[in-house]
Amino acid sequence: MSETKKFLYVNRKAPYGTIYALESLEVVLIGAAFEQDVALAFLDDGVYQLTKGQATDEVGMKNFSPTYRALGDYDVNKIYVEQESLDARGLSLDDLQALTYEDEDDDYAEKDSIKVVSAAELAKIMEQSDVILSF
C-alpha cells in the first residue's frame, strides 16, 4: 500500500442528536495511521461539531469535542469549514474551537488547522479528492 490517496471526510451533521459525528471522528483517528493525504470538511449542520463550550454532563453523553483539538498531533491539519454554512447559522470563526498543529517544516511553529472556505472552493476540494467518506 504505497499509493497515497486524498481522503476527504465530509461532516454535515450536528453532534449528540445522532452518533455520526463521534463515529466519524473515530474513523479519522484510525485513518491517520495510514499516512494518506487527509482533509476534513465541515458544512451544513456539521459546523456545529466544532463549536466552543460543549458540556454534556447533564445529558450524560461523552463530550468528544476536545478530541478535535488532538487532530493536529495526528497530522490531520487540513480542516475546511464552509463560510456559507457558518453564515446561515449566525456563527463566525470565533464561535469555533481553535484547532492548531505544529508545522515541522517551519520550526514547529503553531498554526491554525481550520481554513474557512466558500462553497465554491469546497466544491473544488471535493472534486479533487480520491475518496470521500460521508457522515
Our CB check for another protein shows the closer of 27 and 98 to be 27
CA angle (101, 104, 109) in 5-degree steps = 60
How many alpha carbons lie under 13 Å from residue 7 in its C-beta half-sphere?
21
Please tell me whether residue 129 binds another protein under the rule CB under 8 A. Answer: yes
What distance in Å separates the CA atoms of residue 10 and residue 119, rounded to the nearest whole number? 13
Instruction: Tell the smallest beta-carbon distance from residue 93 to another protein (Å).
Output: 21
Our CB check for another protein shows the closer of 102 and 126 to be 126
DSSP assigned state of 96: B
SS3 78: coil
Please tell me whether residue 98 binds another protein under the rule CB under 8 A. Answer: no
Please tell me whether residue 78 binds another protein under the rule CB under 8 A. Answer: no
- 37 residue type, one letter: D
Residues 9-38 that bind another protein (CB under 8 A): 10, 12-13, 19-20, 23, 26-27, 30-31, 33-34, 36
Please tell me whether residue 60 binds another protein under the rule CB under 8 A. Answer: no
Please tell me whether residue 116 binds another protein under the rule CB under 8 A. Answer: no
What distance in Å separates the CA atoms of residue 133 and residue 42, rounded to the nearest whole number? 12
DSSP assigned state of 104: G
Binding site for another protein (CB under 8 A): 1, 3, 5, 7, 10, 12-13, 19-20, 23, 26-27, 30-31, 33-34, 36, 43-44, 84, 119, 122-124, 126-135
